[in-house]
């Protein structure tokens, strides 16, 4: 009978599961409201309103996510485009929690003479009269808040995308705001703009790789959906060239976002140039989204060809750990050092990813799976990271943040509390027991070993040693060096930075001492569904 | 009755550390008194626990709570004979070091009180290490001890202290991280057998394939060999002990390094009995090299503290030899050796520290004729030296004899060569004594003050114990023996010759 009707009537409205997608929709909706607020509200009101919108949206979205997790309903939503499964919900929750802390840092105005870390007018030429006027008039870019919302919405979508096309769209949605945010630093604007430019160009290249990979995989499987590709893998044995080329190109694009060697070269420059609160946000949240996306694509869609890509990933994991740790030793800038440290951490995460310990394949009841380990590690890495960058914003001299390591000499004398907290974060990065970093490392190593990748574990512990060296060097510098005469000041933080640091510290301690609840939560997240 | 004695022992110094830290900087004296008070109370409690253990056995002191379920980790504490001895040693040395270092921390990088707070922190963690019965908990505490020790070395001591502290830390971390790999491996093995559990009692039941067992053993052994330290992983010790204050050196060599040999008994032999037997030849040779090489290098030293550090390397060689001889006499001897070495090296380091603080130099060449100016100092130095070279009648003699006798019953050649170590010990101690204490009085020595009451108070308990245990070691041997027997049983070895009971052999 339907053949009798016009073709238009064949169109059935797509079924959208609004309940399950509510966390995403809240964030994107709030971002749009933020854009409108930016356009219509008078300047004085914007900061407060934007901050309120952002915080409320993030909190509401977080609560909704929590409710979904409680409901334990895992579905493929939006006609197979988005997978709202356990790992996705867990990722949403940590992304939102870390975004909340980052947003607090974005809103901080008391460390730099009543102005935020963002440029007054990004369009004004650095050092020009217009820039000075803007500063004098206390103009600031409150667009950062909706941009952040778009970014975090994109990340959430990225981590949950069940379709390569959605994956790509999500990637762009979260990357473009980040490019902008990177270029908005109030201090050292040239280096900030350079960072944004580099990030944008290299990011565009990597997007192209990703897109090419998607096209090839589509050519191989005839579908974009992750489940469909997996099915094609299990039935079709021909045309491996396209499959391998597609996998490789897709891997390049994803590893770029993760910061895996040899696709890491943007990280130090961008981390150094971007406004420090943005660096913290990127270091924590981008890594989380990118990693979950990477795991989803490779586990769900390409799990059937794991023997093809696993060897290459072994090499990337080893390179990432080794290069990240060794090159970090030579860094003289705190932010660059933390950038290389984040690369090394990506390497540790990759060990668990490559280990591929999944329930049913080597993991017995109660054992740690790769997904669980990676999710836990991302939590245990995210909080100290933002906390550490928050500390970096506080060490200042006349030119803004004093990020050169030599300027941190003797900080332990000047502000034992701040230096002590930073040292604690560094110890956590180094994986010293009783910190979050240790339990995280333990989890990924055991997942890697369970999957049979014990050589990676050995490389990882040796890289940890090298990494420990450069973390300890900073501690030595802060506590064991004499205070130079022209040492930078430690700014008195407002409540925003204070709470960001305090939250980071609390999470680092709690996850180090009683990681059980979060581990269980990550275990309950289970595996990716398709 | 079990009221969480061990938790109490662990918490008390920890609370003491925090309280000490909270006292205002200006009241350094109060801080020191508080720290001393806490360490003394801990000592009293430890003695009560030790006596209770002697009477009622280990069951009263076991505590087990699940800590991280997903990892199979527990907060589990318990004592065995070896653990008790080392807990007592830790609790004993801490107040002694606090008294002896009363004025040593004034020229440190940080406030005086922090030195004493770190000592208490180290004491708490060390007691935890010696009583942990969960591998994960042990590993966590094992690594955590690095932090107080790092700050003790790096904050207070000689000009090269930062370098020494970092070297110490990196060596220890290298060992520790390789052990982490093995700890993770143990988890994987455990998880394959059902619900993962790190409890020692569960771990011992695991059936580990031969190859895996050997690799895991190597990870643990390497960490302990760095810690102990054995040649060729020893180079951090002379630097650390040479730069640190004498008190820190006592804790480093007397307590912290014992974790290495303690771990060999409890974890290497306990968890990997077959691999331990497999590795015995190599380990014994390494131990033998440590004995001789440490002693030879000690003879050649020009710095008093470095010399003592090298003597310890030689002594640790003996301890490891006794452990891996795998005879009950050797193992008992080694455990006793750990205790006695703690006493004698503490005495030696402390008296040397007194001497060095008076003259302001650690070079042997700067001294001469001290015995004419400061007879008490010279006398205690001689006594400490003689106990270090294992003079019969003093406690180290008994343990050294047991180690050699135990090794001889199984590995004759090695034991015979190791006896050379005793001869060399006499050389390095007596040469040092001769050069510093006898002969004409050197310039700069004339006005050297003799020991004061506080310094004598710190050293007196050590002297009394060294003599007392030299004459009557039975109580401590009685405590050690059952633990050794169960370890022997676990490894599956029995003594070769028809055995003469250990204690009677010494009478």
Per residue in B326-336, pLDDT (tens digit) is 999 999 999 99
Looking at per-residue pLDDT, the higher value among A203 and A491 belongs to A203
**Percentage of chain A lying above the pLDDT 90 cut:** 67
Q: Is residue B429 part of a domain?
A: yes
Q: What is the mean pLDDT of residues A379-405?
A: 92
Q: What pLDDT, on the 0 to 100 scale, is given for residue A7?
A: 59
- Minimal Cβ distance to A472: which of B141, B166, B180: B166
Q: What is the mean pLDDT of residues B72-93?
A: 93
CA distance B108 to chain A (A): 11
Per residue in B447-488, pLDDT (tens digit) is 888 999 999 999 999 999 999 999 999 989 999 988 888 888
User: Cα separation of A174 and A24, whole Å?
Assistant: 13
Residue B281 makes CB contacts below 8 A (sequence gap 6+) with none
Per residue in A76-94, pLDDT (tens digit) is 888 889 999 999 999 999 9
CA torsion, points B316, B317, B323, B324, in degrees to nearest 10?
A: 150
Q: What is the mean pLDDT of residues B342-366?
A: 92
pLDDT tops 70 at residue B1: no
Among B135, B136, B191, the residue to mutate for chain A (most A Cβ within 10 A):
B191
Which H/E stretch holds residue A222? none
- Do the Cβ atoms of B191 and A442 come within 8 Å? no
- Do the Cβ atoms of B144 and A432 come within 8 Å? yes
Give the phi and the psi of residue A189 in degrees, each rounded to 5: -70, -35
Residues in chain A: 530
Q: What pLDDT, on the 0 to 100 scale, is given for residue A4?
A: 52
CA distance A100 to chain B (A): 28
Q: Given CB atoms, is A366 within the 8 Å cutoff of chain B?
A: yes
CA distance B133 to chain A (A): 17
Among B184, B194, B220, the residue to mutate for chain A (most A Cβ within 10 A):
B184
pLDDT tops 70 at residue A286: yes
- Minimal Cβ distance to A364: which of B141, B174, B191: B191
Q: Which residue of B has its CA nearest to A458?
A: B181
pLDDT tops 80 at residue B130: yes
pLDDT tops 90 at residue B294: yes
- Do the Cβ atoms of B155 and A480 come within 8 Å? yes
Q: Is residue B176 part of a domain?
A: no
- Do the Cβ atoms of B71 and A454 come within 8 Å? no
pLDDT tops 70 at residue A6: no
Q: What is the mean pLDDT of residues B114-124?
A: 95
In which domain, by residue range, is B279 found?
273-507
- pLDDT tier at A368, thresholds 50, 70, 90: confident
Least-confidence region, from A261-270, A333-342, B497-506: B497-506
Q: For residue A85, what are its two tokens?
A: 């499964």
User: Mean pLDDT of all residues in chain B?
Assistant: 91
pLDDT tops 60 at residue A362: no
Q: What pLDDT, on the 0 to 100 scale, is given for residue B96?
A: 96
- pLDDT tier at B137, thresholds 50, 70, 90: very high
Look at chain B and report how many structural domains it folds into: 1
- Do the Cβ atoms of B71 and A457 come within 8 Å? no
Whose tokens are 């836990």? That residue is A376
- Do the Cβ atoms of B68 and A446 come within 8 Å? no
- Minimal Cβ distance to A516: which of B68, B162, B183: B68
pLDDT tops 90 at residue A303: no
Least-confidence region, from A124-138, B234-248, B263-277, B381-395: A124-138
Q: Is residue B257 part of a domain?
A: no
- Minimal Cβ distance to A367: which of B154, B166, B196: B196
- Minimal Cβ distance to A480: which of B109, B146, B183: B109
* Chain B residues touching A520 at Cβ < 8 A: 69-70
Among A351, A352, A362, A368, the residue to mutate for chain B (most B Cβ within 10 A):
A368
Whether the upstream peptide bond of residue B229 has omega within 30° of 0, thus cis, is: yes
Looking at per-residue pLDDT, the higher value among A390 and A528 belongs to A390
Q: What is the mean pLDDT of residues B198-217?
A: 90
CA distance B236 to chain A (A): 15
Query: What residues pair up with A115 in beta bridges, in sequence order?
Result: A112
Which residues from B are below 8 Å from A when comparing CB atoms?
Answer: 67-71, 109, 139-141, 143-144, 146-147, 154-155, 162, 165-166, 169-170, 173-174, 177-178, 180-181, 183-185, 187-188, 191-192, 194-196
Among A358, A362, A366, A374, the residue to mutate for chain B (most B Cβ within 10 A):
A366
CA distance B177 to chain A (A): 5
pLDDT tops 90 at residue A3: no
Q: For residue A526, what are its two tokens?
A: 């289970």
Q: What pLDDT, on the 0 to 100 scale, is given for residue A5?
A: 53
User: Cα separation of B73 and B68, whole Å?
Assistant: 5
Q: What is the mean pLDDT of residues A253-258?
A: 94
Among B14, B68, B125, the residue to mutate for chain A (most A Cβ within 10 A):
B68
Query: What residues pair up with B63 in beta bridges, in sequence order?
Result: B77
Asked if residue A147 lies in contact with residue A282, where contact means CB atoms within 8 angstroms, the answer is: no
Size of interface A-B (CB pairs under 8 A): 109
Per residue in A443-456, pLDDT (tens digit) is 999 999 988 889 99
Q: What is the mean pLDDT of residues B154-160?
A: 86
pLDDT tops 80 at residue A11: no
Whose tokens are 């004499």? That residue is A482
- Minimal Cβ distance to B144: which of A434, A469, A479: A434
Instruction: Give the start-to-end residue ranges of the domains of chain A.
Output: 14-525
Residue (of B152, B131, B124) closest to B17 by Cα position: B124
pLDDT tops 80 at residue B235: yes
* Chain A residues touching B154 at Cβ < 8 A: 476, 479-480
Q: Is residue B50 part of a domain?
A: no
Strand pairing report for A82-84 and A75-77: antiparallel
Map B82-129 to HEC letters: HHHHHHHHHHHHHHHHHHHCCCCCCCCCCCHHHHHHHHHHHHHHHHHH
Q: Which residue of A has its CA nearest to B152?
A: A480
Map B401-447 to HEC letters: HHHHHHHHCCCHHHHHHHHHHHHHHHHHHHHHHHHHHCCCCCCCCCC
Q: What is the mean pLDDT of residues A457-471?
A: 93
Q: What pLDDT, on the 0 to 100 scale, is given for residue A363?
A: 63
User: Cα separation of A346 and B65, whole Å?
Assistant: 34
- pLDDT tier at A72, thresholds 50, 70, 90: confident
User: Cα separation of A45 and A38, whole Å?
Assistant: 10
Residue A311 makes CB contacts below 8 A (sequence gap 6+) with none
Whose tokens are 């959605």? That residue is A166
Q: Given CB atoms, is A449 within the 8 Å cutoff of chain B?
A: yes
Q: Is residue B211 part of a domain?
A: no
Asked if residue B102 lies in contact with residue B454, where contact means CB atoms within 8 angstroms, the answer is: yes
Give the phi and the psi of residue B208 in degrees, each rounded to 5: -105, 135
- Do the Cβ atoms of A432 and B181 come within 8 Å? no
Q: Is residue B391 part of a domain?
A: yes
- Minimal Cβ distance to B69: which of A449, A473, A516: A516
User: Cα separation of A131 and A116, whole Å?
Assistant: 15
- Do the Cβ atoms of B144 and A479 come within 8 Å? no
pLDDT tops 90 at residue A187: no
Q: What is the mean pLDDT of residues A197-223?
A: 94
- pLDDT tier at B445, thresholds 50, 70, 90: confident
User: Mean pLDDT of all residues in chain A?
Assistant: 90
Q: What is the mean pLDDT of residues A470-490?
A: 87
Q: Is residue B468 part of a domain?
A: yes
Residue (of A194, A186, A167) closest to A277 by Cα position: A186
Neighbours of A308 (CB within 10 A): 15
Q: Is residue B383 part of a domain?
A: yes
pLDDT tops 50 at residue B507: no
- Minimal Cβ distance to A457: which of B155, B184, B194: B184
Q: Given CB atoms, is A517 within the 8 Å cutoff of chain B?
A: no
pLDDT tops 50 at residue A1: no
């Amino acid at each position: 009978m339907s053949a009798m009707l016009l073709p238009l009537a064949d169109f059935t409205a797509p079924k959208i599961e609004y309940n399950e997608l509510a966390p995403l929709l809240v964030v994107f909706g709030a971002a749009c409201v933020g854009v409108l607020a930016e356009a219509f509200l008078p300047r004085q009101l914007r900061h407060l309103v934007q901050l309120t919108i952002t915080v409320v949206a993030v909190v509401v979205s977080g609560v909704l996510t929590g409710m979904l997790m409680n409901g334990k309903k895992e579905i493929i939503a939006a006609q197979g485009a988005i997978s709202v499964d356990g790992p996705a919900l867990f990722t949403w929750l940590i992304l939102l929690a870390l975004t909340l802390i980052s947003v607090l840092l974005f809103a901080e105005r008391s460390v730099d003479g009543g102005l935020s870390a963002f440029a007054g007018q990004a369009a004004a030429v650095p050092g020009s009269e217009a820039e000075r006027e803007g500063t004098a008039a206390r103009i600031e870019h409150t667009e950062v808040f909706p941009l952040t919302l778009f970014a975090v919405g994109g990340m959430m979508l990225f981590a949950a995308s069940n379709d390569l096309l959605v994956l790509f769209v999500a990637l762009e949605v979260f990357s473009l705001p980040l490019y902008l945010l990177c270029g908005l630093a109030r201090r050292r604007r040239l280096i900030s703009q350079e960072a944004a430019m580099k990030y944008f160009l290299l990011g565009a290249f990597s997007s192209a790789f990703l897109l090419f990979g998607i096209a090839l995989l589509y050519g191989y499987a005839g579908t974009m959906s992750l489940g469909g590709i997996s099915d094609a893998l299990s039935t079709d044995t021909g045309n491996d060239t396209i499959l391998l080329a597609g996998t490789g190109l897709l891997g390049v694009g994803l590893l770029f976002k993760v910061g895996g060697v040899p696709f890491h070269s943007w990280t130090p420059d961008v981390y150094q140039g971007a406004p420090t609160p943005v660096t913290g946000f990127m270091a924590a949240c981008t890594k989380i989204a990118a990693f979950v996306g990477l795991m989803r694509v490779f586990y769900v869609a390409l799990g059937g060809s794991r023997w093809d890509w696993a060897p290459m990933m072994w090499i990337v994991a080893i390179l990432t750990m080794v290069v990240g740790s060794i090159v970090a030793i030579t860094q003289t800038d705190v932010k660059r050092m933390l950038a290389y440290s984040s690369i090394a951490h990506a390497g540790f995460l990759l060990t668990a990813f490559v280990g591929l310990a999944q329930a049913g394949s080597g993991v017995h009841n109660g054992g740690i799976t790769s997904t669980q380990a990676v999710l836990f590690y991302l939590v245990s890495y995210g909080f100290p990271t933002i906390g550490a960058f928050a500390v970096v914003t506080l060490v200042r001299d006349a030119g803004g943040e004093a990020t050169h390591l030599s300027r941190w000499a003797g900080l332990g004398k000047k502000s034992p509390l701040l230096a002590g907290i930073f040292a604690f974060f560094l110890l956590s990065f180094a994986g010293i027991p009783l910190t979050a970093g240790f339990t995280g490392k333990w989890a990924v190593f055991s997942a890697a070993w369970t999957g049979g990748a014990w050589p990676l574990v050995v490389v990882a512990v040796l890289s940890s040693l090298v990494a420990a060296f450069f973390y300890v060097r900073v501690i030595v510098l802060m506590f064991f060096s004499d205070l130079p005469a022209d040492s930078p000041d430690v700014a008195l933080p407002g409540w925003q930075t204070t709470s960001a640091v305090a939250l980071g510290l609390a999470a680092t301690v709690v996850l180090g001492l009683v990681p059980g609840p979060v581990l269980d939560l990550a275990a309950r997240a289970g595996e990716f569904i398709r | 009755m079990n009221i969480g004695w061990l938790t109490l022992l662990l918490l008390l110094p920890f609370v003491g550390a925090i309280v000490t830290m909270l006292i205002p900087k200006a009241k350094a004296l109060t801080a020191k008194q508080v720290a001393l008070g806490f360490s003394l109370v801990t000592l009293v409690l430890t003695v009560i626990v030790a006596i209770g253990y002697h009477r009622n056995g280990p069951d009263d002191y076991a505590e087990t709570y699940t800590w991280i379920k997903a990892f199979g980790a527990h907060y589990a504490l318990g004592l065995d004979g070896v653990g008790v001895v080392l807990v007592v040693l830790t609790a004993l040395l801490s107040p002694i070091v606090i008294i002896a270092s009363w004025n040593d921390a004034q020229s440190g990088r940080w406030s005086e009180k922090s030195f004493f707070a770190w000592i208490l922190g180290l004491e708490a963690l060390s007691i935890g290490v010696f009583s942990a019965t969960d591998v994960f908990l042990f590993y966590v505490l094992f690594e955590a001890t690095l932090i107080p020790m790092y700050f003790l070395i790096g904050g207070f001591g000689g000009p090269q202290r930062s370098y020494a502290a970092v070297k110490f830390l990196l060596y220890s971390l290298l060992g520790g991280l390789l052990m982490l790999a093995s700890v993770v491996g143990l988890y994987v093995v455990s998880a394959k057998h059902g619900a993962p559990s790190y409890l020692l009692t569960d771990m011992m039941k695991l059936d580990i394939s031969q190859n895996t067992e050997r690799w895991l053993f190597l990870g643990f052994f390497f960490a302990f060999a760095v810690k102990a330290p054995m040649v060729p992983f020893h180079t951090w010790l002379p630097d650390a002990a040479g730069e640190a204050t004498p008190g820190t050196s006592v804790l480093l060599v007397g307590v912290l390094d014992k974790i290495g040999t303690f771990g060999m008994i409890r974890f290497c032999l306990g968890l990997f009995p077959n691999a331990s037997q497999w590795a015995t030849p190599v380990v014994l040779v390494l131990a033998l090299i440590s004995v001789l090489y440490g002693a030879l290098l000690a003879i050649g030293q020009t710095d008093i503290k470095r010399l003592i550090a090298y003597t310890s390397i030689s002594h640790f060689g003996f301890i490891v030899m006794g452990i891996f001889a795998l005879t009950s006499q050797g193992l008992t001897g080694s455990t006793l050796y750990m205790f006695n070495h703690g006493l004698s090296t503490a005495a030696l380091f402390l008296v040397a520290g007194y001497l060095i603080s008076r003259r302001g130099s650690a070079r042997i060449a700067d001294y001469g004729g001290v015995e004419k100016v400061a007879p008490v100092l010279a006398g205690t130095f001689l006594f400490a030296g003689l106990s270090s070279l294992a003079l019969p009648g003093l406690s180290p003699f008994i343990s050294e004899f047991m180690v050699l006798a135990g090794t001889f019953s199984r590995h004759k050649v090695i034991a015979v060569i190791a006896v050379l170590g005793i001869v060399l010990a006499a050389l390095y101690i007596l040469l040092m004594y001769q050069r510093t204490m006898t002969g004409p009085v050197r310039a700069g020595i004339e006005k050297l003050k003799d020991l004061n009451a506080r310094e004598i108070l710190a050293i007196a308990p050590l002297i009394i114990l060294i003599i007392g245990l030299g004459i009557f070691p039975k109580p401590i041997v009685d405590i050690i023996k059952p633990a050794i027997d169960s370890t022997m049983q676990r490894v599956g070895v029995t003594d070769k010759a028809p055995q003469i009971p250990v204690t009677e052999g010494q009478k």
